Structure 1
Amino acid sequence: MKSTRVELGPKALLLCCDDKAKVLVGDPGVPVSTGEQEKNTISPVDETLVACQHDMTKSSVCPSAYLECDTPTDIVGSLVRGQVHMIVNDSVTQI
């Protein structure tokens, strides 16, 4: 892959993608539990800790990181240089 990228030079574009963890999205103002049970939680003494179950959220988003790799001048050059782009995908409407 690297040798082809160097050979083609500016005629080719190499993108590296990494999807990050799915982030649950619920209703505004409604706290959602992470699903961790039997864990200690910091909360005010005079309040009751209440949250919806983690599987009761309406949607989720998945942030993706894309690296638009710069073209190295030779085969020993690094492909891990370039412009990074972050995109947030809605898991319901986008694949």
Structure 2
Amino acid sequence: MRIVGVTFDSSSIATRPATMPLSDWELWACAQQVIKQHGANAPLQVALRIAELATNGDGEGVDTWQSIAKRVDQLMDYQTGKPLSRQ
């Protein structure tokens, strides 16, 4: 599975129905991975992904990425542009 340049091992979600939303834990994991890959640019990358999904009419994808965006916001230290913790 690929989310905004973020690669995940699809074997753990291979049996998930296409319409099943991500769990809270999975949303936090996505947010952490986006920050790990994009650092201070993570919020921009998430915004670009949301815009792309909205342009393509993918409302469910927009909802998912807005949930990820909220978590990225909570994990980022905007004074330094780095994650609040080193996990």
- Provide TM-score, normalisation by structure 2: 0.25
Structure with greater strand share of residues: 1
Query: By percentage of residues, which structure has more helix?
Result: 2
Pair member with larger Rg:
1
Greater length-normalized contact order (CA 8 Å, ≥ 6 residues apart): 1
Q: TM-score, normalised by structure 1?
A: 0.24
